[in-house]
Amino acid sequence: MRTPIVPIALTRLSPLRVDHRQRKQPRRPAGTRLLVLLILCGQTVLSGVAHAAAVKDSGPAGPDTASVPTAFELSILYADRTWIWKDGAAYFGKNGRPLRAWTSRQDSASFAEGKWLVTNDGKICMDLAWRSKNYAGEQHRTCYSHRINGGNIEQRKEPDGKWYSFLRSPEDPSDEHRKFEVGDTKAAQFEEARKLLSSKN
């Protein structure tokens, strides 16, 4: 998850060395320093109130206020993980390879091999060639977009799927990312489907 970026960088100032040989500057009266301090505090408070009011008036975050995760951030979510589906799974290897998937529907099974990639505009794309008992297709690309909306990551299937929750903070049981397991946890099932279908072709 993206760490919020602080808009104002705070820097540590090193202690100033005072040259006692320099001519001493006349000191300002204590009242003047207090007045400057009060003005600065007042400006800080007013800017904070104005910012809070602007956030309140803007309503919930929408597409215009959402940002996209970088390719690096997306790769952390997918690399060396298995995405569990209702009737199958896909394993995303490190560095985009391998990508292996399988399904085991009631009357048919299929498997696919290929590669995956992430982009800096918030997309993950899977290039897979699926095979089944009656079908041996060419490589086909499927992409999912991601956006960070209100501190949560949302996902949708391209080109026109609906946005849904992918990963919330704190996590929710309905998050799609809860279906991800670390490592290649369904390798045996993939090999079983591959051997079964390869022997029939």
Q: Would you state the pLDDT for residue 29?
A: 54
Listed by start position, the domains of the chain span 71-199
pLDDT digit string (tens) for 139-195? 999 999 999 998 899 999 999 999 999 999 888 888 999 999 999 999 998 988 888
Q: What is the 3-state secondary structure (H, E, C) of the chain?
A: CCCCCCCCCCCCCCCCCCCCCCCCCCCCCHHHHHHHHHHHHHHHHHHHHHHHHHHHHHCCCCCCCCECCCHHHHHHHHCCEEEEECCEEEEECHHHCCEEEEEECCCCEEEEEEEEEECCCCEEEEEEEEEECCCECCCEEEEEEEEEECCEEEEEECCCCCCEEEECCCCCCCCHHHHEEECCCCHHHHHHHHHHHHHCC
pLDDT tens profile 96-113: 889 999 998 767 789 999
pTM of the model: 0.64
